[in-house]
Structure formats: C-alpha cells, structure tokens
Amino acid sequence: EAQVTQNPRYLITVTGKKLTVTCSQNMNHEYMSWYRQDPGLGLRQIYYSMNVEVTDKGDVPEGYKVSRKEKRNFPLILESPSPNQTSLYFCASSLSGGAAYNSPLHFGNGTRLTVT
Amino acid sequence: GQQVMQIPQYQHVQEGEDFTTYCNSSTTLSNIQWYKQRPGGHPVFLIQLVKSGEVKKQKRLTFQFGEAKKNSSLHITATQTTDVGTYFCAPRSNYQLIWGAGTKLIIKP
C-alpha cells in the first residue's frame, strides 16, 4: 500500500533532549516536506527536500534539522527541543520535485510532540 | 511572506444545509489545491484547479477558481456528518505552496 509512515505517533520529552521523528515513503517520490500544525495557524512548512541530498528551509526552520540521504527517508531532528516546539508534525511527499506543487501531497498520520 | 486568507475560520451548520469556504489572495495564483482533514486525521488531497474560471465537481462538492486566479471557493451542498473536518486551500504562487488557515465544518447536533 502506498503510504507515508511517520514515527512515533506521540512523543513526550523534556527541554533539551535531542529527538528524531522519522518519515518514510514507499512511492518513489522525489519531493518531501515537514510541516507543523498549530491551532488557528494552519500548516507551516519547516523544511523541504526536492530530491536526495537537496534540502531547503521552509517558513519556520529555526530549531530543526533534516537530512535526505536516501530517497525514501526524510527524518526531522530537534537537537535541543523547547516548549514552543510542542505541536502536531506532518511529513508529506509528492511525486516530482520540479513540479512539486502540481502534484498532490501525501501526508503521514502525524506526530504529536509535547516538550515540557 | 506570501499569505492567503481563508474564511470563515469556523462554520456551524445543520445537517442538510450548505457550506462554503473561501480562499483569497492579493496576488495571482498559478494553481490551487484543496485538502480535507478529518478530526484527528491528516490532510487528504481533494482537487487541484489550474485554469482561470475553472469549476470542478465531486458529488456534492463544487470547487471554483476565480477569473483573475486570485480567489477560490469550495461549496458543499446538503452537508452530511461525513463532511465534518477542516478544509484547507493551498495555492501556489511563484513556486511556493502556501496554506490557508482552514475552515472547520461543524455539524450542529
């Protein structure tokens, strides 16, 4: 089944403790992206990747890192999480990097992160 | 950066009533996608509009793209409980995909 898989679904951590949220897609998609969703603010893009080894900042990249060493995986790294990073995170992918925004985005099920 | 306004933020309707959400931009858009997010779920792609004045229908859902490609709407006829969720517009402008804040459809008990 074609899907985007995020793990974990829920994560509670403490300030400063490094964490990684994994994202994997099995559709051979070139484009991948991370979003955070907060009430009343819709979806805000954190980072995106047009292809392997090509990543770029979105609208809210501060405090996050990503890597794209393989086409299927796009982990989100919080080196030193802070309470303002408490949010619902979504990974998404689409077929083509060049025409990324002409292709539908496929979303993972989300990761609800709480930083205390 | 570039912003899009989506209104209303919430809409409460009785089951069977119609629902409309609007997406407005101050700049011309290349295309616009619409997504639906059920409560507790993730956004799911509904449709993409590309041409000026385009109208597309999916059963009870009607999507429109304005003549000037600066606005779009989603209209649901005779809402059902399965329509509950938040509807997002995601227009593209200058290679950027931007997201509206969403309109939450709530069915009154």
Q: What is the pLDDT of residues A60-112, one digit of tens each?
A: 999 999 999 999 999 999 999 999 999 999 999 998 755 556 788 999 999 99
Collect all residues of chain A within an 8 Å Cβ-Cβ radius of residue B97.
45, 100-101
User: In the numeric block, which tokens belong to residue A114?
Assistant: 């709480």
pLDDT 10s digits, B25-39 = 988 888 899 999 999
The pLDDT of residue A114 is above 80: yes
Collect all residues of chain A within an 8 Å Cβ-Cβ radius of residue B6.
42
Percentages of chain B per state (helix, strand, coil), in multiples of 5: 5, 55, 40
Q: Decide if B97 and A102 are in contact by the 8 Å CB cutoff.
A: no
Find the closest chain B residue to A33 by CA distance: B97
Q: Decide if B101 and A40 are in contact by the 8 Å CB cutoff.
A: yes
Tell me, what's the pLDDT at A22?
A: 98
Percentage of chain B beyond pLDDT 70 is 94
Collect all residues of chain A within an 8 Å Cβ-Cβ radius of residue B99.
42-44
Work out the number of other CB atoms within 10 angstroms of the CB of residue A64.
20
User: In the numeric block, which tokens belong to residue B61?
Assistant: 């859902």
pLDDT 10s digits, A37-63 = 998 888 999 999 989 999 999 989 999
Cis peptide bond N-terminal to B91, omega within 30: no
- Is A102 in the B-facing interface, judged by CB distances under 8 Å? yes
* Beta strands B103-107; B10-13: pairing state: parallel
Q: Decide if A107 and B9 are in contact by the 8 Å CB cutoff.
A: no
**Lowest mean pLDDT across A17-26, A100-109, B52-61:** A100-109
Closest CA to A101 of B6, B103, B52, B93: B93
pLDDT 10s digits, B40-50 = 999 999 999 99
Min Cα distance A61 → chain B (Å) is: 14
**Residue whose tokens read 């990503």:** A66
Q: Decide if B88 and A40 are in contact by the 8 Å CB cutoff.
A: no
Q: Of A41, A45, A109, which is closest to B101 when you measure between CB atoms?
A: A41
Dist. CA A116–CA A72, nearest whole Å: 31
Average pLDDT over residues A14-35: 96
